[in-house]
């Protein structure tokens, strides 16, 4: 018992003496003319932003009130170290005011079971205006103040996933990719889902990416204990997998051991790694070569529709790492890659 008390005391002392947040961020606000209200949002800059000159992707996190801390920490963690898995990013978390209004694409007063929804359903159908706010006001402000490279990712969970689907359906030009986590496809079903499926069948997307994370959710609004929510997501993902729409790079993952809430973290982890799966340079791979890395980044560029190059700082980290590990052949290839990509203009749209 004495040992237990000592451990607790040390942990409590550690918490008290180190009150720093896991992710450093700034809280800002924007007076929206479109929404006619003041909107709060959070910004976390990449480590070393002030000393660097490069431009960065932007990730927009919905439901920042609940999701920002763990999601931003995950994104920063994956971008750190000698061999990061994703690029450093500017992270923008959007706080809520009226979630039911802003995230729902259509107006309805009833649940899919036919039962009447709660009073907040009176506000439904504001997703279009909210996406206008993100594109025309929030993103415009972000891009005018910070160094951004044209890659914009929208991440949403539940109703946030529904908003991501609506952005895809309505061809929002701002976003390059979407991570939709256990999307509320039950909302206004089957009417809205039919609209979404019709748009997907039309195809002709302009180099967009979509990753769906699907939980084993035992509940469905209006039905109680029911697989309705889960089955709609699985069926929609199956449709996209079997008939990939033109111009849309699609992937989905089903998590049988995750709930609607717990899936948000692992869904983002798998989703962001999938979107940037050609970013990480594996110097231990048997196939590693200068040309292999060039080809790898060409694939990454084609998926995002603009020229993506490995940051010079990233290549320098790998050079130093390979030198410490006495990998002389890898180091020579990396030095050649650094010189090669120094002459390649990044962030240009591909024709």
Q: Please check whether residues 209 and 332 belong to one and the same domain.
A: no
Task: Please indicate, yes or no, if residue 211 is contained in any of the structural domains.
Answer: yes
Give how far the C-alpha of residue 190 lies from the chain's centroid of Cα atoms, to the nearest Å: 27
Number of domains in the chain: 2
Task: Please indicate, yes or no, if residue 144 is contained in any of the structural domains.
Answer: yes
Q: Please check whether residues 54 and 119 belong to one and the same domain.
A: yes
Q: Is residue 347 over pLDDT 90? A: no
Q: Is residue 103 over pLDDT 50? A: yes
What pLDDT, on the 0 to 100 scale, is given for residue 18?
38
Q: Is residue 309 over pLDDT 60? A: yes
Q: Please check whether residues 258 and 326 belong to one and the same domain.
A: no
- Of residues 351 and 198, more confidently modeled: 198
Task: Please indicate, yes or no, if residue 229 is contained in any of the structural domains.
Answer: yes
- Cα distances (angstroms) measured from residue 324 to each of 23, 79, 327: 30, 21, 8
Task: Please indicate, yes or no, if residue 240 is contained in any of the structural domains.
Answer: yes
Q: Is residue 7 over pLDDT 50? A: no
Residue of 192, 211, 176, 14 lying closest to 89 (CA atoms): 176
Q: Please check whether residues 195 and 311 belong to one and the same domain.
A: no
What pLDDT, on the 0 to 100 scale, is given for residue 351?
56
Q: Please check whether residues 263 and 294 belong to one and the same domain.
A: no
Q: Is residue 9 over pLDDT 70? A: no
Q: Please check whether residues 115 and 177 belong to one and the same domain.
A: yes
CATH at residue 120: 3.40.50.1820
Task: Please indicate, yes or no, if residue 11 is contained in any of the structural domains.
Answer: no
Q: Please check whether residues 310 and 218 belong to one and the same domain.
A: no
Domain boundary among 275, 308, 330: 275
Q: Please check whether residues 121 and 182 belong to one and the same domain.
A: yes
What DSSP line would sit under 92-157, residue for residue?
EEE--S-HHHHH-SS--SB-TTSPBPPGGGGG---HHHHHHIIIIIIHHHHHHHS-EEEEEEEEEE
Task: Please indicate, yes or no, if residue 313 is contained in any of the structural domains.
Answer: yes
Query: CB neighbours of 323 closer than 8 A, spacing ≥ 6?
Result: 331
Residue of 299, 296, 275, 274 lying closest to 285 (CA atoms): 296
Domain residues for 312?
290-342
Q: Please check whether residues 149 and 186 belong to one and the same domain.
A: yes
Q: Is residue 320 over pLDDT 90? A: yes
Domain boundary among 246, 275, 304: 275
What pLDDT, on the 0 to 100 scale, is given for residue 12?
37
Task: Please indicate, yes or no, if residue 33 is contained in any of the structural domains.
Answer: yes
- pLDDT of 152-181, one tens digit each? 999 999 999 999 999 999 999 999 999 999
Domain boundary among 250, 275, 300: 275
- pLDDT of 47-99, one tens digit each? 999 999 999 999 999 999 999 999 999 999 999 998 999 999 999 999 999 99
Q: Please check whether residues 267 and 320 belong to one and the same domain.
A: no
Q: Please check whether residues 144 and 168 belong to one and the same domain.
A: yes
Q: Is residue 150 over pLDDT 90? A: yes
Instruction: Tally Cβ neighbours within 10 Å of residue 50.
Output: 7
What pLDDT, on the 0 to 100 scale, is given for residue 336?
97
Q: Please check whether residues 132 and 166 belong to one and the same domain.
A: yes
Task: Please indicate, yes or no, if residue 228 is contained in any of the structural domains.
Answer: yes
């Amino acid at each position: 018992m004495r040992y237990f008390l000592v451990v607790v005391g040390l942990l409590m002392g550690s918490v008290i003496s180190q009150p720093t947040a896991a992710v450093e961020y700034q809280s800002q606000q924007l007076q929206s003319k479109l929404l006619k209200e003041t909107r709060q949002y959070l910004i976390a800059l990449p480590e070393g932003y002030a000393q660097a000159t490069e431009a960065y992707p932007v990730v927009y996190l919905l439901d920042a009130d609940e999701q920002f801390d763990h999601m931003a920490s995950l994104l920063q963690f994956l971008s750190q170290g000698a061999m990061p898995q994703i690029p450093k990013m500017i992270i923008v978390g959007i706080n809520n005011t009226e979630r039911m209004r802003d995230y729902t694409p259509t107006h309805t007063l009833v649940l899919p079971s036919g039962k009447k929804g709660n009073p907040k359903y009176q506000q439904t159908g504001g997703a279009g205006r909210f996406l206008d706010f993100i594109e025309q006001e929030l993103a415009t402000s972000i891009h005018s103040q910070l160094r951004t490279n044209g890659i914009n990712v929208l991440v949403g969970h539940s109703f946030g996933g529904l908003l991501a689907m609506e952005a895809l359906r309505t061809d929002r030009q701002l976003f390059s990719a979407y991570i939709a986590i256990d999307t509320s496809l039950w909302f206004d079903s089957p009417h809205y889902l039919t609209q979404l499926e019709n748009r997907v069948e039309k195809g002709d997307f302009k180099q967009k990416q979509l990753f769906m994370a699907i939980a084993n959710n035992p509940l469905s609004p209006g039905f109680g204990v029911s697989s309705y929510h889960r089955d709609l997501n699985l069926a929609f993902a199956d449709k996209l997998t079997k008939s990939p729409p033109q111009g849309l790079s699609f992937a989905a993952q089903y998590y049988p051991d995750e709930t609607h809430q717990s899936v948000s973290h692992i869904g983002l982890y798998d989703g962001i790694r999938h979107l940037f799966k050609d970013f990480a340079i594996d110097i231990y791979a048997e196939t590693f070569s200068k040309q292999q890395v060039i080809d790898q980044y060409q694939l990454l560029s084609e998926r995002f529709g603009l020229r993506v190059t490995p940051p010079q700082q990233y290549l320098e980290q790998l050079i130093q790492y390979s030198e410490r590990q006495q990998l002389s052949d890898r180091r020579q290839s990396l030095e050649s890659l650094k010189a090669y990509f120094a002459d390649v203009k990044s962030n240009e749209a591909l024709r």
